[in-house]
Amino acid sequence: MHITRARNLAATTLRLGAGAGQSPTPITGSNPLKPALRALLPPLQLYRRLLRAHRTHLPAEMRVLGDEYVKSEFRAHRDVENPSQVITFLSEWQLYAQKVEGERWKGEKLENGMVERMSEEQVRQLYDLMQAIRKMEEEGGESS
């Protein structure tokens, strides 16, 4: 059943990408500080890339948290059919993968206005993530 959902998301991505026989259009951001994406990866390839990046670039504690978050987000967005939401979802996760692979994520702060553009649910998820990270840091500090 979830394979069908992944195919729906992949099909939407392909419709948004390029026509038959053409390579996907490069996606570039308006922010010069953000790395430009070459082309959106299909959802399953991106999902695997994220888990691989976690496995090779994150400490074990962070990997567990990151893997759980990636899995829950991809599950939550399986049935999204709105093309702009699909593009935003995939492009943000692809940028995240690039940052993890290049280890540019350490010490990074949110852009100005990013929180203001988030929905209440996204702000809650961000807060929950912050709490989980703090809890892990406290547990790690106590065992040292």
| Domain coordinates in residue numbering, the chain | 1-16+33-108, 109-144
Q: For 71-74, which contacts have Cβ atoms below 8 Å and span 24 or more sequence positions?
A: 74/43, 74/47
Is the overall model pTM greater than 0.75, yes or no? Answer: no
Residue 43 pLDDT > 90: yes
Give me the pLDDT at residue 25, please.
Answer: 42
Phi, psi (deg, nearest 5) at residue 23: -80, 155
Contact 77, 90 (CB under 8 A): no
Give me the residue label for tokens 């979830």.
2
In this predicted model, what pLDDT tens digit does every residue of 44-87 receive, in sequence order? 999 999 999 999 998 888 898 899 999 999 999 999 999 999 99
